[in-house]
């Protein structure tokens, strides 16, 4: 990761980002992701100025269980899009770092072609210590890449925990990749995730798998009929695709474009984005308050003892919470 000096020349960084300079984009993302108090002012100024400079990008979340083929899909899809003149940014979250705090190499090496593409920018975010493997500052990174002119932003998330909900809160389009499982095509995917999807694609529809994938598609299509629509007037399509066989991507992109036109003309996209902004505001407030709370000396002195008594079952969690709040608020 690029090192950020305590005093940052924000104007120079903005000039670099908007000129599309990769090193500047990398540094800008590192800065807005930084938690260091010395960076806060520069980071906020940078974000504020970059926000108004960004292109109106299509933000697409890609999810699915580990191994479903997300990274391979993004590599292939990304290449298709740059081939059509798009500039593609990928904000990838490597599951290995969520679980072990380990390296980010896995995904980077797999997107080897896309990372060599002059029209693509790949940023694997360290997800350790964040909720369900989504980097906490992905929204901030989106602002930076849009200011750099990337008009398609792909956010890859691991198919576990609450990460999907968080990613769905920051994109215009949520794509769920699934596999045609033995018998049960809904295996491994929680219903809640299915309810967030704007499109479901049965991946690895190739070779021996092709027929099973087509069957799974039909099954799923009828299952989805009973779910309430996420977007009014949008029936969630189920497609099949394969990066290996290079199939299904035209249809998929057409769907994404149709969704864009539908949500822009119906006003739903603007509504979705503004409620996402409010959501971002509250998440930021919550994070800052929690941080303050944890580090407050009146709280800190009691915290470990209270945690222990709750852990041992000697004190109800709610009572402990009340005591900590009382200490913090001076009640
Ligand atoms: N048959 C087939 N295998 C694929 C396809 N896409 C990915 N794979 C394989 O599935 C495995 C997991 O892929 P990866 O992209 O790392 O999945 P991720 O964990 O969801 O990011 C790898 O071994 C890929 O080679 C595909 O379209 N067809
Ligand atoms: Mg991956």
How far, CA to CA in Å, does 142 sit from each of 50, 121, 127, 159, 327? 10, 12, 16, 20, 38
pLDDT of residue 16: 97
- What separation in Å is there between the alpha carbon of 53 and the centre of ligand 2? 30
**Ligand 1 site-directed mutation target among 69, 77, 167, 242, most atoms within 8 Å of CB:** 69
Give residue 21 CA to ligand 1 midpoint distance, Å: 31
- For ligand 1, say whether the CB of 30 is within 6 Å of any of its atoms: no
Report which of 251, 163, 266 is spatially closest to residue 199, judged by C-alpha positions. 251
Q: What confidence score (pLDDT) does residue 145 get?
A: 97
Q: Is the CB of 71 under 6 A from ligand 1?
A: yes
The confidence score (pLDDT) of residue 95 equals 47
> How many angstroms separate the Cα of 178 from the Cα of each of 92, 204, 222, 293?
18, 9, 16, 41
Ligand 2 center–CA 101 separation, angstroms: 15
Angle, CA of 210, 231 and 53, to the nearest 5°: 100
List the residue whose alpha carbon is closest to atom 12 of ligand 1: 67
Selection from 125, 118, 126 nearest residue 144 by Cα: 125
Distance of CA 300 to the CA centre of its chain: 32
Ligand 1 pocket: which of 72, 79, 212 to mutate (most atoms <8 Å of CB)?
Answer: 72
72 close to ligand 1 (CB < 6 Angstrom):
yes
Separation between Cα atoms, residue 3 and residue 35, nearest integer Å = 13
Atom nearest to 65 CA in ligand 1? 20
3-state helix, strand, coil in the chain (%, to 5): 55, 10, 35
Closest protein CA for atom 28 of ligand 1 = 204
Domains of the chain, first to last:
1-53 (1.20.5.170), 54-266 (3.40.50.300), 278-329 (no CATH)
Ligand 2 is an ion; residues with CB less than 5 A from it: 70-71, 107
The Cβ of residue 103 has, within 10 Å, a number of other Cβ atoms equal to: 13
Task: State the ligand closest to the CA atom of 76.
Answer: 1
Does the C-beta of 66 come closer than 6 Å to ligand 1? yes
pLDDT digit string (tens) for the chain, length 331 residues: 556 666 789 999 999 999 999 999 999 999 998 878 888 899 999 999 999 999 999 999 999 888 889 989 999 999 999 999 999 999 976 544 444 443 444 444 568 889 899 999 998 765 444 443 345 688 999 999 999 999 999 998 865 566 788 888 899 999 999 998 744 545 556 677 888 899 999 999 999 999 999 999 998 898 888 888 889 999 999 999 999 999 999 999 999 999 999 999 999 999 999 999 999 899 889 988 998 999 999 999 999 999 999 999 999 999 999 999 999 998 7
pLDDT at 26: 94
* Ligand 1 geometric centre to CA of 204 (Å): 7
User: In the prediction, which pLDDT does 5 show?
Assistant: 67
CA of 141 to the centre of ligand 1 (A): 26
Going by CA atoms, what residue is nearest to atom 14 of ligand 1?
69
């Amino acid at each position: 990761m690029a090192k950020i000096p305590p005093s940052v020349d924000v104007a120079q960084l903005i000039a670099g980002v908007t000129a599309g300079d990769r090193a500047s984009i990398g540094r800008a993302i590192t800065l807005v992701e930084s938690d260091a108090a010395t960076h806060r002012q520069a980071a906020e100024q940078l974000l504020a100025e970059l926000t108004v400079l960004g292109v109106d990008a299509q933000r697409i979340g890609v999810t699915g269980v580990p191994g479903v083929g997300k990274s391979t899909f993004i590599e292939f899809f990304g290449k298709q899009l740059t081939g059509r003149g798009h500039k593609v940014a990928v904000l990838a979250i490597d599951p290995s770092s969520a679980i072990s705090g380990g390296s980010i190499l896995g995904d980077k090496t797999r997107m080897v072609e896309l990372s060599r593409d002059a029209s693509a920018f790949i940023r694997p975010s360290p997800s350790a210590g964040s909720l369900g493997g989504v980097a906490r500052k992905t929204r901030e990174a989106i602002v930076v890449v849009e200011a750099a002119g990337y008009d398609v932003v792909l956010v890859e998330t691991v198919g576990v925990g609450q990460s999907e909900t968080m990613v769905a809160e920051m994109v215009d389009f949520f794509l769920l990749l699934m596999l045609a499982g033995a018998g049960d095509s809904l295996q491994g995917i929680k219903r809640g995730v299915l309810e967030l999807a704007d499109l479901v694609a049965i991946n690895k529809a190739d070779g021996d798998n092709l027929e099973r994938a087509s069957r799974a598609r039909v099954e799923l299509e009828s299952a989805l009929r009973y779910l309430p629509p996420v977007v009014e007037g949008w029936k969630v399509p189920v497609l099949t695709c394969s990066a290996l066989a290079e199939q299904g991507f035209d249809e998929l992109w057409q769907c994404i474009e149709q969704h864009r036109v539908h949500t822009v003309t119906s006003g739903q996209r603007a509504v979705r984005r503004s409620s996402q902004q409010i959501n971002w505001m509250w998440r930021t407030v919550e994070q800052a308050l929690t941080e303050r709370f944890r580090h407050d000396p009146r709280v800190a002195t009691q915290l470990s003892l209270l945690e222990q008594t709750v852990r041992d079952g000697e004190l109800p969690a709610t009572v402990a919470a009340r005591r900590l709040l009382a200490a913090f608020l001076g009640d």
